[in-house]
């Protein structure tokens, strides 16, 4: 790739946790680009971008001409993506990490380690008639972690059902939620009554069995999203997924307990084999000193979804139980966006 053919990049939401992680990834991986435009809405204008020099200040997305970019990452709130992403997609590939377009059938939903092959057609000139050629949606972090692990197991034994409990870090709700956890923790350790509740209830030293709003049936929006997004990414529209999403007092790293049932016989040895060979996965064997992954240890070693506690379900045939941990900001969001861009750039330039 010559200097003249390197893509021009823009990051909308450059001041967000995911935007900062993406900037760091681009720098670490030496992603070749001609220009990098760092953008956000009015709240963060003029701030220096994390890890960048003083000259790299965040500009206003409202006045940006998207004809100046070839690939645009949206790491922003859904409202910002809804407002600006369609216009950007008229000029560039748009990789949207928000929830704005995940539910639209005419917008591809991509986990690079699972269904990234769909992007081959996109880079060659479009997915199919009627689809937004320039707009690509990314699933939520819990869905990315779940689909990444279930994909090779489905190929092995035919996935039939998954019972899932997610334990989600507060960073899934952004920087202010992390600051809220820190403030609550300091208050409580100091013997003071905490005055700030980012999630409606105390999160420090607590767990909250609700992520996002509850609907009339008592199911949370996050639980609905986990079902819909995992089905789409795996290409299994009838897959049974029963999910409970829980918020826990962890800064980074989503964890999942998964009970999976299959249509064909499956052994733990065979499952371990496909997980070890799976894209973006690391299996942590139950052998000292690493007995299993946790959010504060393996999950902070980025760019892998970690699996542990793999075992047969003693109560059901053709079933496995396992534990999943992944950095929700770095691996499941920023790295997925980066990997999608790599596929598009390598095929298009």
Q: State the CATH number of the domain containing residue 166.
A: 3.30.360.10
Residue range 195-225, pLDDT digits in tens:
778 898 999 999 999 999 999 999 999 999 9
On the question of a cis peptide bond just before residue 289, with omega within 30 degrees of 0, the verdict is: yes
Residues 6+ apart with CB under 8 A from 129: none
Residues 316 and 337 in one domain: no
Q: At what angle do helices 336-348 and 17-28 cross, to 10 degrees?
A: 50
Residues 219 and 148 in one domain: yes
Please tell me the distance from the alpha carbon of residue 273 to that of residue 280, in angstroms, as a whole number: 14
The CATH code of the domain that includes 37 is 3.40.50.720
DSSP code, position 312: E
Residues 199 and 266 in one domain: yes
The helix (run of H) or strand (run of E) holding residue 307 is strand 305-312
Residues 62 and 155 in one domain: no
Residue range 134-182, pLDDT digits in tens:
899 999 999 999 999 999 999 999 999 999 999 999 999 999 999 999 9
Residues 172 and 272 in one domain: yes
Q: At what angle do helices 141-157 and 221-234 cross, to 10 degrees?
A: 40
pTM of the model: 0.92
Q: How many domains does the chain have?
A: 2
Residue range 104-119, pLDDT digits in tens:
998 999 999 999 999 8
Q: Which pLDDT band, with edges at 50, 70 and 90, does 128 fall under?
A: very low
Q: Helix, strand or coil for residue 269?
A: helix
Residues 133 and 147 in one domain: no
Spatial contact of 36 and 9, defined as CB atoms under 8 Å apart? yes
Angle (CA) 185-189-194 rounded to 5° is 55
Domain span holding position 309: 142-328
Show the tokens assigned to 293. 């992954």
According to the 3-state scheme, what is the secondary structure of 228-266?
HHHHHHHCCCCCEEEEEEEECCCCCCEEEEEEEEECCCC
Please tell me the distance from the alpha carbon of residue 220 to that of residue 217, in angstroms, as a whole number: 9
Residues 47 and 106 in one domain: yes
Residues 124 and 163 in one domain: no
Residues 93 and 149 in one domain: no
Residues 209 and 117 in one domain: no
Higher pLDDT, 324 or 124: 324
């Amino acid at each position: 790739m010559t200097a003249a053919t390197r893509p021009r990049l823009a990051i909308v939401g450059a001041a967000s946790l995911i935007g900062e992680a993406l900037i760091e990834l681009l720098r670490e991986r030496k992603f070749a680009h001609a220009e990098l435009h760092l953008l956000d809405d009015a709240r963060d204008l003029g701030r220096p971008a994390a890890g960048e020099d003083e000259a790299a200040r965040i500009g206003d997305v409202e006045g940006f001409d998207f004809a100046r970019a070839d690939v645009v990452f949206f790491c922003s709130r859904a409202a910002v993506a809804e407002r600006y992403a369609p216009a950007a997609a008229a000029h560039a590939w748009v990789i949207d990490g928000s929830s704005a377009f995940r539910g639209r059938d005419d917008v591809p939903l991509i986990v690079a380690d699972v269904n990234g092959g769909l992007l081959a057609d996109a880079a060659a000139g479009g997915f199919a008639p009627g689809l937004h050629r320039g707009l690509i949606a990314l699933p939520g972090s819990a869905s990315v972690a779940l689909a990444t692990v279930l994909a090779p197991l489905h190929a092995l034994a035919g996935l039939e059902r998954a019972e899932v409990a997610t334990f989600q870090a507060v960073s899934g709700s952004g920087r202010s939620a992390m600051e809220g956890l820190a403030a609550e923790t300091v208050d409580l350790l100091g013997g003071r009554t905490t005055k700030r509740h980012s999630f409606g209830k105390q999160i420090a030293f607590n767990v909250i069995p609700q992520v996002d709003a509850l609907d009339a049936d008592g199911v949370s929006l996050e639980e609905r999203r986990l079902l819909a997004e995992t089905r789409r990414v795996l290409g299994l529209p009838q897959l049974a997924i029963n999910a409970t999403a829980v918020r826990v007092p962890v800064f980074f790293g989503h964890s999942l307990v998964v009970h999976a049932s299959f249509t064909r016989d499956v052994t733990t040895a065979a499952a371990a084999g496909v997980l070890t060979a799976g894209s973006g996965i690391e299996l942590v064997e139950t052998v000292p000193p690493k007995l299993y992954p946790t959010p504060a240890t393996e999950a902070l070693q980025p760019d892998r979804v970690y699996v542990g506690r793999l075992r047969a379900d003693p109560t059901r045939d053709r079933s496995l139980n396992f534990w999943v941990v992944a950095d929700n900001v770095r691996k499941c969001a920023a790295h997925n966006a980066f990997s999608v861009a790599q596929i598009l750039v390598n095929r298009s330039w």
